[in-house]
């Protein structure tokens, strides 16, 4: 018989707190008390307590000694963008330029193509669109959705891309996949490459 080395304590019932700002009673988990939480019922009440207060360094100026150290640390250094206008330090002329490729918050790789017909307001387009259109030799239909077979949104190899002809088909597949009822996908780009009328 194996005995767990962990000691589990039963969950404590929630506790009723009283807001120090508005006096309203509210319920929170019991651990709030041990951690010092549960002082205010909402963010608004917590913010009210900070009105008129300033940060610890508000109104304070650096000492003469600190000013001197700051000044000496910048002596002899010329800013890399001094005297340069914006076009001279943008895109490929910028030291941090990476070829116009970025990754958005969803994990998709975006490529800077301002002239492309499907680029967004900032001039970027999802890389998988460029790769699929080049591979099949034509433009994608607006209703088509490009799916990453291995779920890695940055893996835009043709063999990892699958075309769903509608958003509902794409959504349905994900639903079946979550329940374990979907089959394994294999890239279908060759089908659309060979069948130009589809």
pLDDT in tens, 84-108: 777 676 777 777 777 788 999 999 9
Would you place residue 69 in the very low, low, confident or very high pLDDT band (cuts 50, 70, 90)?
Answer: very high
CA Rg value for the chain: 29
Asked if 108 contacts 124 with a C-beta cutoff of 8 angstroms, the reply is: no
Would you place residue 9 in the very low, low, confident or very high pLDDT band (cuts 50, 70, 90)?
Answer: low
Asked if 152 contacts 126 with a C-beta cutoff of 8 angstroms, the reply is: no
Mean pLDDT value across residues 41-53 = 88
**Domain ranges within the chain, ordered by starting residue:** 15-48, 91-194
- Looking at the chain, the whole-number percentage of residues with pLDDT higher than 90 is 49
3-state secondary structure (DSSP) of residue 18 = strand
Asked if 156 contacts 127 with a C-beta cutoff of 8 angstroms, the reply is: yes
Euclidean distance between CA atoms 198 and 191, whole angstroms: 9
Q: Which residue has the tokens 């002329």?
A: 93
Q: Pairing between strand 101-103 and 25-28?
A: unpaired
Euclidean distance between CA atoms 130 and 141, whole angstroms: 13
Would you place residue 168 in the very low, low, confident or very high pLDDT band (cuts 50, 70, 90)?
Answer: very high
Q: Pairing between strand 101-103 and 109-112?
A: antiparallel
pLDDT tops 60 at residue 74: yes
Mean pLDDT of the chain: 86
Euclidean distance between CA atoms 145 and 161, whole angstroms: 10
Nearest to 136 by CA among 69, 61, 188, 178: 188
Which pLDDT score is estimated for 1? 45
């Amino acid at each position: 018989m194996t005995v767990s080395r962990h000691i589990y304590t039963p969950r404590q019932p929630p506790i009723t707190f009283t807001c120090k700002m508005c006096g309203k009673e509210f319920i929170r988990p019991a651990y709030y008390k041990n951690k010092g939480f549960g002082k205010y019922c909402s963010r608004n009440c917590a913010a009210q307590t900070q009105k008129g207060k300033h940060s610890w360094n508000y109104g304070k100026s650096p000492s003469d000694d600190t000013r001197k150290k700051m000044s000496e640390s910048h002596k002899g250094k010329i800013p890399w963008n001094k005297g340069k206008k914006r076009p001279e330090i943008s895109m490929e002329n910028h030291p941090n330029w990476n070829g116009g490729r970025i990754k958005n918050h969803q994990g998709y790789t975006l490529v800077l193509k301002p002239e492309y017909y499907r680029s967004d307001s900032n001039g970027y387009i999802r890389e998988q669109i460029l790769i699929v259109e080049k591979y099949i030799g034509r433009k994608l239909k607006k209703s088509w959705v490009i799916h990453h077979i291995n779920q890695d949104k940055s893996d835009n190899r043709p063999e990892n891309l699958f075309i769903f002809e509608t958003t509902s088909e794409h959504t349905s597949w994900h639903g079946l996949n979550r329940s374990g009822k979907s089959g394994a996908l294999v890239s279908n780009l060759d089908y659309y490459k060979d069948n130009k009328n589809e």
